């Protein structure tokens, strides 16, 4: 992977966030996810919509 950098995000108005980082094992990932003010079911629905858009953009 590339160099480690520091990124600041102002999430004070965020209902949810997901951070995906490289994992400790080859090909693995580490996921940090929080949903406050939005049900986990609703957050999952939004994430599915994003995944569908990314798939469409990738021509899948």
Model confidence at 41, pLDDT cuts 50, 70, 90, reads very high
> Which range marks the domain in which residue 28 is found?
16-57
The model's pTM is 0.66
Per the domain annotation, does 9 fall within a domain?
no
- pLDDT at res. 51: 94
- pLDDT at res. 4: 73
Q: What average pLDDT score do residues 25-54 get?
A: 92
Model confidence at 46, pLDDT cuts 50, 70, 90, reads very high
Burial, 38: exposed, middle or buried (Cβ in 10 Å; 0-12, 13-18, 19+)?
middle
The tally of domains found in the chain comes to: 1
Which residues, 6+ apart, have CB-to-CB distance to 52 below 8 Å?
none
Per the domain annotation, does 1 fall within a domain?
no
Per the domain annotation, does 26 fall within a domain?
yes
Average pLDDT of the chain, as a whole number: 88
């Amino acid at each position: 992977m590339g160099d480690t950098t520091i990124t600041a995000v102002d999430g004070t108005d965020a209902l949810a966030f997901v951070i995906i980082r490289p994992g400790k094992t080859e090909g693995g990932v580490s996921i940090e996810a929080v949903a406050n003010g939005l049900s986990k079911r609703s957050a999952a629905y939004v994430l599915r919509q994003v995944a569908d858009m990314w798939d469409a953009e990738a021509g899948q």
